Amino acid sequence: MDTKQIAAKLNELKAELEARVQRTHKHTYQKDQPVSAKFDEQVVETENDSLVMALEAEGKEELALIDKALHRIEAGTYGQCQRCGEAIDEARLQAIPYAAYCIDCAN
């Protein structure tokens, strides 16, 4: 397994996610538009906000997983299931490079 290549991929993902989280954060907290006067519009805005906040939370969670995977690469334990210690299937790591569990433990 080429962990250097995986680290590069993880760092790329991380940069993308960080940019996305920053954008959604801006959207949520730095509004230059005044709150809509009409109630209907307010409801829509509130719904959008919670969606955006959910996206931001999801992005942050994913970032934490990526950081952990990068630490595992440094520690030399990358590709090992964090629960049972078995090797994680390489196809799974290709699809989810920050996967911490083998397919059995993830289910």
Q: Is 103 in the site for Zn ion (CB under 5 A)?
A: no
Report, in Å, the least distance between residue 84 CB and Zn ion. Answer: 3
Q: What share of the chain is helix, strand, coil (3-state, %, to 5)?
A: 70, 0, 30
Question: Binding Zn ion by CB under 5 A: which of 12, 84, 87, 90?
Answer: 84
Closer to Zn ion by CB, 3 or 82: give it: 82
Residue 105 as a binder of Zn ion (CB under 5 A): the answer is: yes
State residue 76 phi and psi, 5-degree precision.
Answer: 80, 15
CA–CA dist 102, 107 (Å, integer): 9
CB closer to Zn ion out of 3 and 101? 101
Q: Which of 66, 81, 93, 99 binds Zn ion (CB under 5 A)?
A: 81
Instruction: Report the alpha-carbon distance of residue 11 to residue 33 in Å, rounded.
Output: 34
